[in-house]
Structure 1
């Protein structure tokens, strides 16, 4: 009896795309994904959000894609794979109300990174209205527009010791990712 192959839908959130000299065209990134056997490959925005499907599990896909991207683009690739249910969870558990004066970020990272981020946030000097919360093992950060990179937490997020541990996305981007996953 043949077993039926299951195609899992994922989004790969790449870290460090189009910053500090690592410039990538999303069409070229998609091509690398396709060359590793990923199906239904497409990008959402130009910030390293790649939708795809595969019969492989998340850990297998992560290793395969990081190796292929590292070799193709000559940089140390880090990416975080989320399925549709995980992306829905990030959006539905957002503890902050929308406010046109603030950005709200969700994070993808290694297990336990939310506790590290909360510890760093609690020690950091904050701008007016800046907040952070953990909901269902996800770290959320609300920061006034224009202060993301200048804030103390923003500077902490850029540290080398965190580069392979996490990546962040504005929740507006995560909404676009989910919409495209749902529409396909």
Structure 2
């Protein structure tokens, strides 16, 4: 059994509402154990004998069947979440900025997003690996930041999801208890 973190894309925004208790119940029929949901933004930690690609396939299938929407998730081994948090050079507690980690299920699409955003002033865009990059936005100005607007374009919707660094720390800590 291996521990994973699963990050859902686009839940509890844009009309797709999933209660985490209902998600946890739906996942009982899948080859997962130790399922824990965190926050209401679609963060799950679990154990499975499946490889990451198998977890992704089962999880997305469950979301489609149980909640009736075209679901996309990013699945990372629990230890990789810890490595990404450790590699992020920004503080989760800076009061003047918010730190984000954008996760991608397709390394080529994430590289394209990185290339498109790397010239943006003030984004502090840093590649953390083939599946993640980090960036900052002014406190209170995330949605208006140029990189946030770029990363929310339809081109990237099915392949990326973004979490605040504080959320990633919580996911890392929860995954460590599996």
Structure 2 alignment gaps of length 5 or more:
none
Structure 1 alignment gaps of length 5 or more:
1-6
Match of 1:65 in 2: 59
Distance 1:48 1:135 in 2: 22
Measured against aligned partners, the alpha-carbon deviations of 1:12-32 in whole angstroms (never above 9, x if no partner) come to: 100001000001100111112
1:111 shift after superposition: 1.6
Distance 1:68 1:136 in 2: 28
Is the contact made by 1:130 and 1:144 (CA closer than 8 Å) also made in structure 2? no
Q: Does 1:135 align with 2:128?
A: yes
1:56 aligned to 50, 53, 67, which one? 50
RMSD in angstroms over aligned alpha carbons?
A: 1.6
Deviates more, 1:113-122 or 1:57-66: 113-122
Is the contact made by 1:120 and 1:153 (CA closer than 8 Å) also made in structure 2? no
Distance 1:103 1:174 in 2: 13
Q: Does 1:111 align with 2:107?
A: yes
Match of 1:102 in 2: 97
Distance 1:50 1:67 in 2: 15
1:68 shift after superposition: 1.5
Is the contact made by 2:6 and 2:74 (CA closer than 8 Å) also made in structure 1? yes
TM-score where L is the length of structure 2: 0.91
Asked which structure has the greater CA Rg, the reply is 1
Match of 1:4 in 2: none
1:71 shift after superposition: 1.9
